[in-house]
Chain A
């Protein structure tokens, strides 16, 4: 077979062209090829793909290209790091096993992304740590077919920073609104934050000072902790102590404090310091002391009152004519006792004057402001026990006057006069006149007995004279009976 000159020339030209093509490829002067596939010319890139990959590898966000069957064609190093798996694992197992519980959400995103770019937040757990990620899917024209571009932006730091900021804001709001003094210390025990309530304990801000120096606490004997620095050490070691009572001297006063100490946990459970709450118990302690005293006093008074009621009962019974007489007299005497008790209660058990006592005992029988009763110099205050005794004595004097004496007719008058004596005692004179002629009683009744002995219990004395022109009673209250 012979070859013509033109054919040789053509062959030489094509050989030269092939050699030129090889040279250009070898020397890196071409970056794309035309390939005839299935009767259709297609362009394949060389360098541009590498550049794109280099660009993708340089990015912080995780990126992957998926083919139409959603198999990974390419995944960058950032995505491998984010998912905690290698490129080989992604190629072998696919992307979705690595996404864990978030896989269905990403599948749904890809379903919807065929017509355009879409994003959705997903949660990934990588290396035991939860990550907040925004997944974005978009259609991607691959060299050989349609596919997807999938990117993952890790916004965990941003979300955590926002959460931390929110926590900080809430923490500050809680501290600002707390009634208790709240202190935050760092791990060395230096105070870093103090709530506004701290200023009620310490006039100056303790921030920047060591806890034990700013709060020189004295603990009750037998308390488990010996000093403020021990509280810091306990809390900083991760333990909590609650309800420790301590006292502290501030400006010459002693404050009673209830202290709680707890560790301050940071992210990852690490102890960053400690939190103290200090509750000022000073007022409560004073109140408790007062309550205990009052309870003791109430008990004492109840016993006295019951003893008094028993005495009134037995003596009224001894002198009563019959049972109806007993009922009337006993009820009146208990009522007199009740009047005094009510008066004392109204006055919070202090500061009752002799005049107030007389006015209240007189009230059921005669107008104390009327012309038949004159009260002079009786503004002296008496003690509680004296008020009870004097109330009973006055009751007997008044009932006697109403039944037999100056208040039993229309013309009689009673004058009650009080005067301080040089020895500090207080003399009260009950003087009746204008009543019926008085005859001394044939025997000493309960009334006289109460008058004679009643004030004796309250460091005083009483003496009654049944003068024909009217009863005269002189009572003396020792200065210890006066309030």
Chain B
């Protein structure tokens, strides 16, 4: 699953969310991430890949995923990981270096 919102100018945030099927925390993380990006980034400024490790467990190795759900900010570098269901919006914004005031 991926959502793309391309825009001219600055490169978009590239985010990868690792989940395990429809577990409650996985579902919560997907919803929280969509809400935060929608509210704070605006259209075209982010790209989200959701990887279901239950279907493709080998993909966990790429980012050394241990706990699920885990969000990985691939771009801009350096890579950042946020572990959990993304329920703490402020912490997500800080980790993703998104200016909440915008």
Interface residues of A (CB under 8 A from B): 13, 17, 20-21, 23-25, 27, 29-34, 40-43, 45, 47-48, 51
Can you list 25 A-B pairs, Cβ within 8 angstroms, ordered by A? Answer: A17-B81, A20-B82, A24-B83, A25-B67, A29-B25, A29-B83, A29-B84, A30-B67, A30-B84, A31-B25, A31-B26, A31-B68, A32-B20, A32-B69, A33-B68, A34-B60, A34-B65, A34-B67, A34-B68, A41-B61, A43-B53, A43-B54, A45-B20, A47-B24, A51-B24
Is B94 interfacial (CB-CB < 8 Å)?
no
**B58: chain A residues within 8 A (beta carbon):** 41
Closest 8 CB pairs of A and B: A29-B84, A41-B57, A32-B20, A32-B68, A24-B84, A31-B25, A24-B83, A30-B67
How far does the alpha carbon of A43 sit from the alpha carbon of B53 in the complex, in Å?
7
Q: CB within 8 A of A34: which of B21, B23, B66?
A: B66
Known: A29-B87, A30-B84, A47-B23. 6 other contacts (CB 8 A): A20-B82, A21-B66, A24-B83, A31-B25, A41-B60, A43-B68
**B78: chain A residues within 8 A (beta carbon):** 13
Number of A-B contacts (CB under 8 A): 73
Give the interface residue-count category, chain B: 20 to 34
A21 and B83 form a contact (CB under 8 A): yes
**A29: chain B residues within 8 A (beta carbon):** 25, 83-85, 87
B57 and A34 form a contact (CB under 8 A): yes
How far does the alpha carbon of A24 sit from the alpha carbon of B67 in the complex, in Å?
9
Q: CB within 8 A of B23: which of A24, A32, A40, A41?
A: A32
B24 and A31 form a contact (CB under 8 A): yes
A40 and B83 form a contact (CB under 8 A): no
B81 and A20 form a contact (CB under 8 A): yes
How far does the alpha carbon of A45 sit from the alpha carbon of B54 in the complex, in Å?
10
**A31: chain B residues within 8 A (beta carbon):** 20, 23-26, 68
B14-33 vs A: 1/0 string, CB under 8 Å? Answer: 00000011011110000000
Known: A21-B67, A29-B84. A41 touches B53 (CB 8 A): yes
* CB nearest neighbor in A for B79: A13
**B85: chain A residues within 8 A (beta carbon):** 29-30
B63-102 vs A: 1/0 string, CB under 8 Å? Answer: 0011111000000001001111101000000000000000
**B67: chain A residues within 8 A (beta carbon):** 21, 24-25, 30, 32-34
How far does the alpha carbon of A20 sit from the alpha carbon of B95 in the complex, in Å?
12
* CB nearest neighbor in A for B67: A30
**What is the minimal beta-carbon distance from A135 to any residue of chain B, in angstroms?**
29
B25 and A30 form a contact (CB under 8 A): yes
**What is the minimal beta-carbon distance from A403 to any residue of chain B, in angstroms?**
130
**What is the minimal beta-carbon distance from B91 to any residue of chain A, in angstroms?**
10
**What is the minimal beta-carbon distance from B65 to any residue of chain A, in angstroms?**
5
**What is the minimal beta-carbon distance from B30 to any residue of chain A, in angstroms?**
13
B23 and A48 form a contact (CB under 8 A): yes
How far does the alpha carbon of A324 sit from the alpha carbon of B65 in the complex, in Å?
141
Q: CB within 8 A of B83: which of A13, A30, A43, A47?
A: A30
B window 6-48: CB within 8 A of A: 20-21, 23-26
A27 and B84 form a contact (CB under 8 A): yes
**What is the minimal beta-carbon distance from B39 to any residue of chain A, in angstroms?**
20
How far does the alpha carbon of A27 sit from the alpha carbon of B87 in the complex, in Å?
11
**A51: chain B residues within 8 A (beta carbon):** 24
B26 and A32 form a contact (CB under 8 A): yes
How far does the alpha carbon of A45 sit from the alpha carbon of B61 in the complex, in Å?
18
How far does the alpha carbon of A47 sit from the alpha carbon of B20 in the complex, in Å?
12
